[in-house]
Structure 1
Amino acid sequence: MPTRPLVLVDMLSYTGTKGGMETYTRELYRALGRMDTGLDFVALASKEGAALDLSWFPGEVIASRISGENRFVWAFGELVASSWTASRRKAQLVHSPATLSPMWTSMPTVVTIHDMLYWSHPELMTTPLYTRPVMWMEKRGAANAAHVITDSEVSGDEIVKYLGFPRQRLHVVPLAAEHPDSPPAPAQRPENLVVASGQRRPHKNWDRLVRALALVEEDVRPRLVITGARGDDPLAPVVAETGMGEWVELRGWVDDAELADLRSRARALAFPTLAEGFGLPILEAMAEGLPVIASDLPVLREVGGDAALWFDSLDLDSIADALRTVATRPEVLPGMAAAGLEQARLFSWERVAHETLAVFRTALAAR
């Protein structure tokens, strides 16, 4: 019987704290595990990731001593350790699902680049000293890659623009969201509550969301819960400055169950971002029947279509109007929820898995 090709999956960034990129890795490989791929998989896991429940991964997991939380140790691992491990295990293909990838491999590499924010919006990155090294690593990884996968047409255009990657070896594979069996109906959302979640990086634009909330009349103003911070929350001074302490709750990092509970009770998800590679939170909300108010960006239009209530992310009055709408016009919520559910059904993790597998096979065939 011929040996099945072995794919080394670089999971050195997977620590349980990285949000959407980890959702992508987990759901992609969970879906691949349900398929007859004709491939075998082995993962190189970070020190933190190896301590997590990785039973969803369809193959062996190698526990490394590399910390995915230490940026410089992680960077070294991405550039060197993953390719060394792939050679040692005689892998025929390397997949790097979290943007950074080896600078050189003896076998083809497929890298999933989720966004080009360090190139398109360097002024919004929180660690300027890290920006140039990341840009260099992305450039080197792309130069070594046989194929690049990305989440959106907007990100694809930017990869070609900034990295000079050939369009013919670039594949746009949109992300997806799980679909609950019975999402709550809008009528079952009695609280005047808006939920938002995400890391506190500047491009997420949370400060404008809080300042816009202060413009909404007090007698109709919704309560706002923002999750996602770790450690001291940089939004706390903004909440204090605007006097929004009674209306804004900063919950920090929450688990999936707590986030699902918040979404089940909220009237809408707010997503005021200035830039994204995809915008997974709005798709996840739509799949749960939760209306979405979000920044009117081309990349988010790719995801949300006409199902969201769009606002100008730089205009406080525009954001406030969207908050006011979901707080005072409950009659529009059922239509928004229904449109969101229909939009979310256009995306599935099975499709992501099938299209990704096709890229793997193309890369393997051209060895």
Structure 2
Amino acid sequence: MRIGVDACCWSNRRGFGRFTRELLEAMLAIDKKNEYLFFVDKDTAAGDGMPETVRTIVAPTLVSPTEAASAEGRRSLRDVWALSRQVMKHRLDLFFFPAVYSYFPIFNRTKIVVTIHDVIADHHPDLVFPNRKLKLFWKLKQNVAIRQADLILTVSENAKQQIIEYFRLPESRVRAISEAARPVFVVLPQDKEMVSVLRRYSLDSGKRFLLYVGGISPHKNLQALVGAFHQLISDSRFADVRLMLVGDYKDDSFFSAYWPLKNYIDQLHLDERVIFTGFIADKDLAYLYNAAALMVLPSLEEGFGLPAIEAMACGTPVVSSDRGSLPEVLGEAGRFFDPLDTRMMADTLKRVLSESDLRKEMREAGLSRAQQFTWNKAAKDTLSIFNELMKR
């Protein structure tokens, strides 16, 4: 089977970029039978980490995939046609889109698999797109993708059911796999390297901090987290705790809530208690997971919630929103709150921070839970889905 892949988002630092890299690398590691062709733009082709064993086809696009997959969706018809034309030049059996963000139509009989990670943009369009024009562009792109796709892939059972219900699709057209943590995310010793990493991000060894990892988009609900954090540290038992927010906020191409969030932090006089780190490479991030008192995920919705798995793999207790896929991913290892109720969020944080036996229980359950998710399994499931589709 000749499999074409839209690898334009290979270098993207958001979750769908990581999904693309980890899944495809796992597939290439176990699949020695099929031939893969990666279709990319010139910027992606020139970047680091592209597999040397895979044939790469470069399309002459004018706009980078990061911009094209952004909230503003700036991909011209010329670029769409450039990508489509390159794909149609090759006799492919199947074409795989690891994300719908950079989708482009294919006008031949090639089987098409499109990954839709979630329906966040459909449930909360005002929190994802800055204006009406961009909402309409997104809907058009996604609707064309759904219409053309022979099969839709997603990353959790929760996301699968939401896609089926929202788009009124038969269950046979949507399949779910899962994501996993990279091997770098493991339990690490409290050594000199950890002390060095903590100092790099203005933290002292032994000091308690809450950790959030992800985007700064409005649907991530970080203003509610800051409000709950303010309530938390108003209690003298938790006056020493800090909040660390890890993720792109300056170079993120998606709709960012950074400035409203920063203004809210300043209004509450928390500018010295809340730390914005920007993007952090995985090696340092693994140390931060290990050092954190808790990982907090306050999202209004998630398709999967990869940081939850990463945190559990590092032995970090996770306190999370009860929305979207997060309860499915965390299982009994997590503790949950209503993301719209800051008092409940703060109370949940207080309870877990104050009960060492509970944290130990969550740590052990989380380590066990994380082992159930592997990229090897995701790769095998994806290949099985591809083979099944080709028999239709």
- Compute the TM-score of the two structures, normalised by the length of structure 1: 0.90
Equivalent-residue separation in structure 2 for 1:297 and 1:63 (angstroms): 40
Q: Does 2:316 align with 1:290?
A: yes
Per-residue CA shift, 1:277-309, capped at 9, x if unaligned? 111111111112111011012521111111111
The aligned amino acid for 2:36 is: F
Residue 10 of structure 1: aligned partner: 6
Contact 1:41 1:60 in 2 (8 A): yes
Equivalent-residue separation in structure 2 for 1:14 and 1:158 (angstroms): 26
Per-residue CA shift, 1:238-268, capped at 9, x if unaligned? 1101111221111122222232221121111
Note closer, same or farther for the CA distance 1:260–1:46 as it changes in structure 2 (3 Å cut): farther
- Deviation, 1:230, is 2.7
Note closer, same or farther for the CA distance 1:244–1:181 as it changes in structure 2 (3 Å cut): closer
Superposition pairs of residues 271-286 of structure 1, within 5 angstroms: 271-286=297-312
Contact 1:154 1:277 in 2 (8 A): yes
- The correspondence for 2:374, drawn from 348, 351, 355, is 348
Note closer, same or farther for the CA distance 1:57–1:345 as it changes in structure 2 (3 Å cut): farther
Q: Does 2:125 align with 1:140?
A: no
Residue 211 of structure 2: aligned partner: 195
Residue 85 of structure 1: aligned partner: 86
Q: Does the residue aligned with 1:159 lie in a helix, a strand or coil?
A: helix
Residue 333 of structure 1: aligned partner: 359
Contact 2:59 2:83 in 1 (8 A): no
Residue 24 of structure 1: aligned partner: 19
Contact 1:175 1:352 in 2 (8 A): yes
Moved more, 82-91 or 176-185: 176-185
Contact 1:12 1:78 in 2 (8 A): no
Equivalent-residue separation in structure 1 for 2:288 and 2:143 (angstroms): 39
Note closer, same or farther for the CA distance 1:182–1:68 as it changes in structure 2 (3 Å cut): closer
- The correspondence for 1:253, drawn from 271, 279, 303, is 279
Residue 62 of structure 1: aligned partner: 57
Superposition pairs of residues 295-334 of structure 1, within 5 angstroms: 295-334=321-360
Per-residue CA shift, 1:114-166, capped at 9, x if unaligned? 01112122232232331121111111111111111111222212222333333
Residue 224 of structure 1: aligned partner: 243
Moved more, 253-262 or 142-151: 253-262
Moved more, 127-136 or 263-272: 127-136
Equivalent-residue separation in structure 1 for 2:139 and 2:52 (angstroms): 29
Equivalent-residue separation in structure 1 for 2:77 and 2:49 (angstroms): 23
Q: Does the residue aligned with 1:273 lie in a helix, a strand or coil?
A: coil
Residue 126 of structure 1: aligned partner: 129
Residue 113 of structure 1: aligned partner: 116
Equivalent-residue separation in structure 2 for 1:201 and 1:47 (angstroms): 28
Note closer, same or farther for the CA distance 1:92–1:157 as it changes in structure 2 (3 Å cut): same
Moved more, 36-45 or 24-33: 36-45
Contact 2:3 2:96 in 1 (8 A): yes
The aligned amino acid for 2:100 is: T
Residue 102 of structure 1: aligned partner: 104
Contact 1:147 1:359 in 2 (8 A): no
Q: Does the residue aligned with 1:34 lie in a helix, a strand or coil?
A: helix
Equivalent-residue separation in structure 2 for 1:10 and 1:35 (angstroms): 20
Note closer, same or farther for the CA distance 1:217–1:254 as it changes in structure 2 (3 Å cut): closer
Note closer, same or farther for the CA distance 1:352–1:81 as it changes in structure 2 (3 Å cut): farther
Note closer, same or farther for the CA distance 1:73–1:37 as it changes in structure 2 (3 Å cut): farther
Per-residue CA shift, 1:306-326, capped at 9, x if unaligned? 111111111111111232234
The aligned amino acid for 2:106 is: W
Moved more, 322-331 or 142-151: 322-331
Equivalent-residue separation in structure 2 for 1:57 and 1:296 (angstroms): 42
- Compute the TM-score of the two structures, normalised by the length of structure 2: 0.85
Report the identity percentage: 28
Structure 1: state its 5+ residue gaps: none
Q: Does the residue aligned with 1:360 lie in a helix, a strand or coil?
A: helix
Contact 1:111 1:149 in 2 (8 A): yes
Q: How many residues align?
A: 361
The aligned amino acid for 2:139 is: M
Residue 197 of structure 2: aligned partner: none
Contact 1:46 1:63 in 2 (8 A): yes
- The correspondence for 2:39, drawn from 44, 56, 80, is 44
Equivalent-residue separation in structure 2 for 1:51 and 1:239 (angstroms): 39
Residue 202 of structure 2: aligned partner: none
Residue 360 of structure 1: aligned partner: 386
Cα RMSD after superposing both structures: 2.4
Q: Does the residue aligned with 1:42 lie in a helix, a strand or coil?
A: strand
- Deviation, 1:353, is 0.4
Q: Does the residue aligned with 1:293 lie in a helix, a strand or coil?
A: strand
Structure 2: state its 5+ residue gaps: 195-204, 252-257
Residue 156 of structure 1: aligned partner: 160
Per-residue CA shift, 1:83-117, capped at 9, x if unaligned? 32221122221100012433333111111110111
